[in-house]
A and B are shown apart, each in its own frame.
Chain A
Amino acid sequence: MVITYSADEIFEIAEEIERNAAEFYREAAERCSNEDAKKLLLEMSAIENEHLETFQSMRGKLSAEDGLSIFDPVGRSAAYLQTMADARTWEGRVNPTQDLTGNETAKEIIEIALEAEKEMVVFYVGLKDMVYFKAGKDKVEEIIIEELKHISALLKMLKAFG
């Protein structure tokens, strides 16, 4: 499969993922009555906003040429990014906030967040392969590690809920 998205578009998707995640965590915190969970969700929202800025900055540094093509356009990561980018439209799932009905328990909110974090990790693993300048790879790796920490924190919270 040859990827039909440009580097610019893939970064745009990454920005959208972070914007949605920050909104989801903020919204989830507002709906959450458990104080510990609320605090965790707000902290995560702030970190997702930082990630958004990182991706915006990286996208801004792409040259016009970078924006038109992508490294390794037929590789496995490219195929994955293509599928995930397509999935946003055919499955209509663009924002985890859509999954919130307002009737969730704190535990259910954490479970939705956990699924969203895993999706982010896998998308960024593909994205990292597409970035061919080392400084950029390192930044994506830092973001992946922060998302892994989020998964750890969410799992601990789930465990506390029993």
Chain B
Amino acid sequence: MSMPFNADEVFEMAEQIERNGSKFYRAAAEKFPAVRDILLGLASMEDEHEQTFANMRAELSGTELEEPIFDPDEQAQMYLRTMADGHVFDIKADPVETIASKDTPEEVLKMAIGAERDSIAFYVGLKDAVSNRAGKDKVDDIIKEEMSHIVTLNDKLKDLK
């Protein structure tokens, strides 16, 4: 199969995921004061991730993702494209609107955990599709930070029970 993802497209999507994430956390923080500080902290981290992806994108602009070592049939790129087509990430959806239907901090924390898991699943594919030169380690760092977000959200969820 030959429909290589342009690095611009992939990193643009990663930036949008982070932008949506921080917007979601800020809106949720405003609606639920009980979890405000934690959510604002996570929003700031998503801002930093967006900047990291923007920098990576600027460095790679116009280049194609390198052939992944493990993946001669371009499985990683196919994975990213499938993930990107709207079923997992509807990046055009307004994250603030998704909070409207949530009535409790517990609901919004569970929703956030699901969104973090979606991000990680996308970034694991992204990491496998980019070379060391393109910043594999930076993507790995972001994956680890998103994992720590799940830990934070889970801990808070336990506190609320």
Chain A residues in contact with chain B, CB under 8 A? 1, 76-77, 79-80, 82-83, 87, 90, 114-115, 118-119, 121-122, 125-126, 141, 144-145, 148-149, 151-152, 155-156, 158-159
Q: Are A126 and B147 in contact (CB under 8 A)?
A: yes
Q: How far, in Å, is A126 (CB) from chain B's closest CB?
A: 6
Which of the residues A122, A145, A152, A158 comes within 8 Å of B147, measured between beta carbons?
A122
B110-145 near A? 1/0 per residue, CB < 8 Å? 000010011011001100100000000000000111
Q: How far, in Å, is A122 (CB) from chain B's closest CB?
A: 5
Q: How far, in Å, is A40 (CB) from chain B's closest CB?
A: 14
Q: Which secondary structure dominates where chain A touches chain B?
A: helix
Q: For residue A156, which residues in chain B have a CB less than 8 angstroms away from its CB?
A: 82
Q: Are B88 and A155 in contact (CB under 8 A)?
A: yes
Q: Are B83 and A80 in contact (CB under 8 A)?
A: no
A80-B150, A90-B158, A145-B70 known; A122+B83 contact, CB < 8 A:
no
**B11-69 interface (Cβ within 8 A of A):** none
Which of the residues B75, B78, B85, B125 comes within 8 Å of A159, measured between beta carbons?
B85
List 29 A–B pairs whose Cβ atoms lie within 8 Å, in order of A's numbering: A76-B144, A76-B145, A76-B147, A77-B147, A79-B147, A79-B148, A79-B151, A80-B147, A80-B148, A83-B154, A83-B155, A90-B161, A118-B120, A122-B117, A122-B121, A125-B124, A125-B147, A145-B71, A148-B76, A148-B79, A151-B79, A151-B82, A151-B83, A152-B78, A152-B82, A155-B82, A155-B85, A155-B87, A156-B82
Q: Are B75 and A145 in contact (CB under 8 A)?
A: yes
Interface range, B side: 20 to 34
Chain B residues in contact with chain A, CB under 8 A? 70-71, 75-76, 78-79, 82-83, 85, 87-88, 114, 117-118, 120-121, 124-125, 128, 143-145, 147-148, 150-151, 154-155, 158, 161
